[in-house]
Amino acid sequence: MIDRAAGWLLPPRCVLCRGPGQSPALDLCVACEAELPRVSRPCRRCGLPVLAGKVGIARGERCARCQSIELPYARCLAPWAYEFPVTRLVQALKYEGALANARVFGMQLAAFAGPAMDPGREATLIVPMPLHPRRLVERGFNQSREIARVVARTVDRPLVESALRRVRETVHQVGLTREERLGNLSGAFMANAVTVAGKRVILVDDVVTTGSTAAEAATTLAAAGAAHVEVWAVARALG
Together in a domain, 20 and 60: no
Separation CA 37–CA 58 (nearest Å): 24
Q: How many residues does the structure list for the chain?
A: 239
Together in a domain, 77 and 144: yes
Together in a domain, 15 and 88: no
Are the beta carbons of 110 and 155 closer than 8 angstroms?
Answer: yes
Together in a domain, 63 and 175: yes
Together in a domain, 121 and 205: yes
Together in a domain, 92 and 134: yes
Together in a domain, 149 and 56: yes
Together in a domain, 91 and 25: no
Q: How many domains does the chain have?
A: 2
- Kindly give, in sequence order, each residue whose CB lies less than 8 Å from that of residue 156, ignoring residues fewer than 6 positions away: 121
- pTM score of the predicted model: 0.87
Q: Mean pLDDT in runs of 10 for the chain (239 residues)?
A: 60 95 93 95 89 50 73 93 97 95 96 76 89 92 97 94 90 56 76 96 95 93 96 93
Are the beta carbons of 136 and 143 closer than 8 angstroms?
Answer: no
Together in a domain, 57 and 85: yes
How do 164-166 and 124-128 pair as beta strands? unpaired
Are the beta carbons of 201 and 226 closer than 8 angstroms?
Answer: yes
Residue-level pLDDT at 169 = 76
Together in a domain, 208 and 197: yes
Q: Domain of residue 5: give its range.
A: 1-35
Together in a domain, 224 and 155: yes
CATH of the domain at 151: 3.40.50.2020
Together in a domain, 9 and 125: no
